Amino acid sequence: MQSTTIKKESKIASKSMLFYCREGYEADLAAELEQLSAKQQIYGYSQFVPNSAIVHYHFYQELSTQQQYVSFPLSDCIFARQRLCSIGKVELTDANDRITSIIEYLKDNTELSDSCLGDIYVEHADNEKGKEVAKFCKKFTVPLRQALRREGWLSKKAHSGLPYIHLVFSDSTECTLAFSYPKNRHSQPLGITRLKFPAEAPSRSTLKLEEAIQLFMSPAQQALCLQKGMTAVDLGACPGGWTYQLVTRGIHVEAVDNGAMAESLMATGLVSYQAADGFKYQPIDGHVDWLVCDMIEKPERVSELMTQWLCNRKTTSTIFNLKLPMKQRFQIVSTLLAKMSTSLNERQIEHRISAKHLYHDRDEITVLVLTGAHLI
């Protein structure tokens, strides 16, 4: 991850990080954080409650301000939705004046400079318990924002180039105070990419591909890599949720499946339907710009197939889903992705692999592999 220039210097001591994930995937995220910690030689330990949708990582030494900005890149975390630097918990015993307790805690535990904060998020875990305090969090945001502005800490308008302050409520009597930093955070509350389901799309799976495109590629990369007139193969296409995303961008798609495609997609003139086995299919002209795949198959088979297409130059880039096993999910997917990278390196194919357990995924992760002209 590139180094971030700190424009507004504030002293914020942190010895732990707080990560959001999908409920039930805490152990997978914890295993991933342990590996990242060893890789960066910033040591500590993970702590979580099963099904809490939150994992804490406690460091043995206090992180410097620069380490808080750049360590544990969110883009490197498959199972993390959001990455926050935690400074501690605040007990809110006075239900009539919670704000004073929060302001006093910030004064005692930080040295915030003028207009050093770009926004405020009052949040909760994305699970059933968290939903119980969701309404409270929504109501509490406005008065707390006003209080932070009175203290001079919060910019007049939201500023994405500054740290954000997050208050993570377990209930209305206790919250964790934390900060997120530019270029190393998800830009939306709870680390969730909110998307509207297109009425014309034939299935909700379309949201997986849309989220992947938005998360993995900048607007400039999307303009370069998803141009009108490009070609693609969609393995396991029917009824056409992923094909829809490609067609709306003017991309010609070879839709491969034994099921039926949505008639609305066939009517665009951009889709050719191929009733074939996705593991044996060959692109009509020998090469396409994109291979996308959301087949319900063992992750080993899918990763091997994607690797073959890339190594044999049948596609420039690919987006695909890997269905997750019941146990050792992080260990298995990280091994498969490392094997894919090794194979590409052996063929001297420059590449970039991104992987994420998306909000619209369930028991799968979505992977992007860019190569060749798609790399910028």
Is it the case that residue 262 has pLDDT exceeding 80?
yes
Q: Is 205 helix (H, G, I), strand (E, B) or coil?
A: coil
Over residues 303-362, the pLDDT tens digits come to: 999 999 999 999 999 999 999 998 999 999 999 999 999 999 999 999 999 999 999 999
CA 259 to each of CA 90, 236, 246: distance values in angstroms, whole numbers, following the listed order: 55, 9, 19
* Per-residue confidence (pLDDT) for residue 350, from 0 to 100: 97
Q: How far is CA 273 from CA 203, 235, 254, 266, in A?
A: 17, 11, 6, 8
Residue 52 in contact with residue 139, Cβ under 8 Å? no
The contacts of residue 330 (CB under 8 Å, 6+ apart) are 28, 29, 31, 32, 35, 78, 79
pLDDT at 9 over 80: no
Global pTM exceeds 0.85:
yes
The predicted pLDDT at position 7 comes to 47
What DSSP designation does 117 have? B
Q: Residue 290 in contact with residue 251, Cβ under 8 Å?
A: yes
pLDDT higher than threshold 90 for residue 273: yes
pLDDT for position 222: 96
* Sign of the alpha-carbon torsion through 71, 125, 162, 7: negative
Q: Retrieve residue 249's tokens.
A: 């961008």
pLDDT of residue 270: 98
* Fold observed for domain 206-374: Rossmann fold (3.40.50)
For the chain, the domains span 11-191, 206-374
**pLDDT tens digits, 74-102:** 999 999 999 999 999 999 988 889 999 99
- Mean pLDDT, the chain, as a whole number? 94
pLDDT at 8 over 80: no
Query: In which element (H, E) is residue 67 found?
Result: helix 65-70
Predicted local distance difference test score (pLDDT) of residue 2 = 41
CATH fold match for the domains 11-191 and 206-374? no
Examine the pLDDT at 114 and tell me if it is beyond 50.
Answer: yes
pLDDT for res 6: 43
Question: Catalytic positions, please?
Answer: 323
pLDDT over threshold 70, residue 161: yes
Class of 11-191 per CATH? alpha beta
Percent of the chain predicted with pLDDT > 70: 98
CA dihedral for 297, 300, 304, 310, sign (positive or negative) = positive
Q: Phi and psi of 315, rounded to 5°?
A: -145, 150
Does the structure show a pLDDT above 90 at 163?
yes
Q: Which pLDDT band, with edges at 50, 70 and 90, does 172 fall under?
A: confident
CA distance 222 to 374: 9
The pair of three-digit structure tokens given for residue 12, joined into one six-digit string: 């914020």
pLDDT band per the 50, 70, 90 thresholds, residue 64: confident
- List the alpha helices (DSSP H) in 98-203: 98-109, 128-131, 134-150
